[in-house]
């Protein structure tokens, strides 16, 4: 047979035993005909002095031209000393993205991340990354695959961006662990969705309403003393929820009016207490054997649920869109309204970088605008009087 063609292969009939017809143009390329009538493309060649045989594919699934092209590719690998069958076996044994996620959560996260971060990473891996890419081999994931995953989460842009960030971290570690080539992170150049930072600051009147409602529910017993004291401390310190929720009596220094937190989002932190915050702390009844200020229902525990009572309290105060974290924003806005500088506000909030406090920079112009308005009004009144 001068050359394998579709017509020639279709004309081959089966025999009692298998046989091979070799192509006259591409050395080693042939078609194997089985007794069942099945026909498979084959390649016979030598690799490092040893004869090797490869099955290229089934006739009908592959056209003869496709099989020929695939054979040329294999011969090119063989020429460079690469055994395609070994490469295929290695690929089959290679770790998947799901395997990488498990390694990431078990080996990296526990020693490098705080509990809250670890929870969010686990959620991103198990709920979003594995669902989209879990079955992919680590080295097979390309930028279009990542972009598709990110796009499929466009209806939740914040989560889409967080998930992209977690996957990017996993891919960087895959390079360090030798599971991908250096500089091959497929998350690069996948553009994140714009995020609108939410800022809600309580006015003086809203703070008054909130304080009144806290007094009411405390007097009526509708809510526990623990949750009420937690909200008051959040109002008067600007602390993060977890910092107050897990606050221990051992962290309080009443002589210096300070809280010395051994751990926070930014590491060890000193919280400077105003008189109102000190008064709240001194009025909290301590429970023997419980180290926590905001104690929970179980012996020796802290109060874990501050969201549900907050929803009831904010509804009663007419503050339906106010989150607990907005109390921290409001603390900062009040500090700026009193004329405090951004570095000072950053010190009060425990920021380690001025860029973090810069989100409140636009508030600093409000007192200046008010001062400019007062000066302009004074001048206007003087000139109109003449």
pLDDT of 222-242, one tens digit each? 999 999 999 999 999 999 999
Q: Which pLDDT does position 336 carry in this prediction?
A: 81
Residue-range domain boundaries for the chain: 6-92, 97-176, 204-368
Most distant pair of Cα atoms in the chain: their distance: 122
Domain 6-92 has CATH 3.40.50.1820: no
3-state secondary structure of 372: helix
Which pTM does this prediction carry?
A: 0.59
Distance from C-alpha of 234 to C-alpha of 230, rounded to nearest angstrom: 6
Domain formed by 97-176, architecture: Orthogonal Bundle (1.10)
Do the Cβ atoms of 186 and 143 come closer than 8 Å?
yes
* Sequence-ordered alpha helix ranges (H) in the chain: 6-10, 64-79, 84-93, 97-103, 109-112, 115-124, 130-133, 143-151, 157-176, 204-220, 225-237, 241-245, 275-282, 307-316, 326-337, 342-349, 354-357, 361-385
pLDDT of 281-290, one tens digit each? 999 999 889 9
Q: Show the low-confidence residues of the chain (pLDDT under 70).
A: 1, 87-93, 197, 361-371, 385-386
Q: Which pLDDT does position 349 carry in this prediction?
A: 83
Domain 204-368 has CATH 1.10.443.10: yes
Q: Which pLDDT does position 221 carry in this prediction?
A: 93
């Amino acid at each position: 047979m001068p050359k394998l063609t579709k017509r020639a292969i279709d004309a081959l009939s089966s025999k009692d035993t298998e046989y091979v017809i070799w192509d006259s143009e591409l050395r080693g390329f042939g078609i194997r005909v089985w007794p069942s009538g099945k026909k498979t493309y084959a390649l016979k060649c030598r690799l490092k002095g040893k004869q090797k045989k490869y099955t290229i594919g089934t006739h009908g699934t592959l056209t003869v031209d496709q099989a020929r092209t695939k054979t040329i590719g294999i011969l090119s690998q063989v020429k460079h000393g690469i055994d395609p069958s070994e490469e295929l076996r290695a690929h089959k044994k290679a770790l998947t993205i799901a395997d990488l996620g498990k390694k990431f959560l078990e080996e990296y996260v526990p020693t490098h991340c705080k509990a809250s971060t670890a929870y969010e990473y686990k959620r991103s891996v198990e709920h979003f990354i594995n669902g989209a890419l879990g079955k992919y081999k680590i080295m097979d994931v390309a930028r279009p695959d990542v972009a598709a995953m990110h796009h499929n989460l466009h209806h939740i842009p914040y989560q889409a961006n967080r998930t992209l960030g977690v996957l990017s971290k996993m891919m960087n570690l895959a390079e360090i662990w030798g599971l991908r080539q250096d500089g091959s992170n497929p998350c690069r150049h996948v553009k994140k969705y714009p995020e609108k930072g939410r800022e809600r600051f309580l006015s003086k009147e809203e703070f008054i309403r909130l304080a009144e409602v806290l007094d009411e529910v405390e007097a009526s017993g509708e809510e526990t003393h623990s949750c009420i004291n937690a909200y008051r401390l959040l109002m008067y310190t600007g602390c993060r929820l977890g910092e107050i929720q897990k606050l221990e009596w051992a962290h309080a220094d009443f002589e210096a009016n300070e809280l010395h937190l051994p751990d926070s989002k930014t590491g060890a932190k000193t919280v400077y207490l105003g008189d109102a915050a000190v008064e709240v702390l001194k009025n909290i009844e301590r429970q023997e054997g419980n180290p926590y200020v905001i104690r929970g229902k179980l012996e020796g525990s802290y109060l874990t649920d501050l969201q549900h009572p907050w929803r009831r309290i904010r509804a009663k105060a007419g503050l339906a869109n106010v989150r607990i974290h907005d109390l921290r924003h409001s603390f900062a806005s009040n500090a700026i309204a009193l004329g405090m500088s951004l570095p000072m506000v950053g010190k009060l909030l425990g920021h380690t970088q001025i860029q973090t406090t810069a989100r409140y920079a636009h508030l600093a112009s409000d007192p200046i605008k008010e001062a400019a308005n007062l000066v302009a009004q004074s001048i206007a009144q003087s000139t109109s009087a003449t």
